[in-house]
Amino acid sequence: MGIFDKLKSIITKKETAKVKEAKEEVELYDKGLEKTRDEFISKLSLLGMKYTKVNEEYFEELENILIMADIGVKTVFSFMERLRDRVKKENISDTDYLKEVIVDELFIIYVNNESLSDKINMQSDGPTVILMVGVNGVGKTTTIAKLAYKYKNMGKKVMLIAGDTFRAGAVPQLNEWAERTESLFYGKENTDPAGVIYDGLEIAKKENADIVLIDTAGRLQNKVNLMKELEKINKVIGKIIPNAPHETLLVIDAATGQNGIMQAKSFKEITDITGIVLTKLDGTAKGGIVLAIKEEVNIPVKFIGLGEKMTDLETFDIENYIYGLFKDMV
């Protein structure tokens, strides 16, 4: 079954499902990707009306549409090469049918027969430690709060540790989120982040926390200093809890587009990133960044922010994402 037929099946299943949670999740993707879909699909539909047959002019305009959706130049070029090859091999001339092939190929870009896990590496014994990194202003602290809320609602005992110790207001801000999400908290201002994290993890062990979410500084201007700080933090975490951190999640603002890709590349150079959290995806028409990140950085997207409410942070699902982008074409 091709992805296009699979999408129809997903829509049928999920829109008629009696399971409220599954339906709400689909609706979140639907609403959250509305801006990208409106921009992308309307242009794709106009292209199909302008050209009834596939030709080089069609390919050139399609290439521009994909780049504008912020899928990324490198990703678009490799995608177009595969698309041209498939059109030639399958002798495709109808632009209407080609839309199905486009959906299929975009899905293949993300999956690509690889087993990149979008699941969190949960520990059965002791706390699961999740280190949160990212530049200031991307929504890192709010994302930590949303994750805390998510795990609390799953019945987990959550602790937040404020490792961003020197930024004015960062520690009290995280403390406030801990109170609002009924999570444990540890933090001190204007002191060594590694020391704070050490003490916080000792408390987390004593309190039998299930999930520990650690905030870190968002300075990327001096990569050498940040790398040293993160190396020290990682050593401290591993000393208290062997094999931790179990996840290092990089938070990126989807609206920054290609700048977000550069952030991912920079952070990948200085620490081991296991997953991406894409925030503010609902507020941008650059939803194609999901595909660009996978293709250019090869790190799985684990969560996406599709709204401002505490419940609007979703575990990433490639099928729901493709559905959210292309449902108007199905």
Number of domains the chain contains:
2
Handedness of CA 221, 225, 226, 227 (dihedral sign): positive
Question: Do 242 and 145 share a domain, yes or no?
Answer: yes
Q: Are 107 and 322 within 8 A, CB to CB? A: yes
pLDDT more than 90, % of the chain: 48
Give a yes or no: residue 82 inside a domain: yes
d(CA 315, CA 204): 25
Question: Do 46 and 148 share a domain, yes or no?
Answer: no
Give a yes or no: residue 84 inside a domain: yes
Question: Do 153 and 243 share a domain, yes or no?
Answer: yes
Give a yes or no: residue 116 inside a domain: no
Q: Are 301 and 160 within 8 A, CB to CB? A: no
- pLDDT surpasses 80 at 11: no
Question: Do 92 and 159 share a domain, yes or no?
Answer: no
3-state secondary structure of 325: helix
CATH code of the domain containing 24: 1.20.120.140
d(CA 301, CA 117): 9
pTM of the model: 0.87
Question: Do 140 and 252 share a domain, yes or no?
Answer: yes
Show the domain range for 87: 3-111
Q: Are 21 and 14 within 8 A, CB to CB? A: no
Q: Are 199 and 186 within 8 A, CB to CB? A: yes
Instruction: Give tens-digit pLDDT for 123-172.
Output: 988 899 999 999 988 999 999 999 999 999 999 999 999 999 999 999 99
Give a yes or no: residue 232 inside a domain: yes
Give a yes or no: residue 117 inside a domain: no
Partner residues linked to 132 by β-bridges = 249
3-state secondary structure of 177: helix
Question: Do 71 and 142 share a domain, yes or no?
Answer: no
Average pLDDT over residues 182-195: 96
Question: Do 107 and 238 share a domain, yes or no?
Answer: no
The residue among 111, 136, 165 that closes a domain is 111
As given in the structure block, the two tokens for residue 121 are: 């590496």
Helix (H) or strand (E) holding 25, with range, is: helix 20-32
Instruction: Give tens-digit pLDDT for 206-234.
Output: 999 999 999 999 877 778 888 899 999 99
The residue among 85, 111, 137 that closes a domain is 111
Residue 4, pLDDT score: 65
The residue among 78, 111, 144 that closes a domain is 111
d(CA 160, CA 245): 14
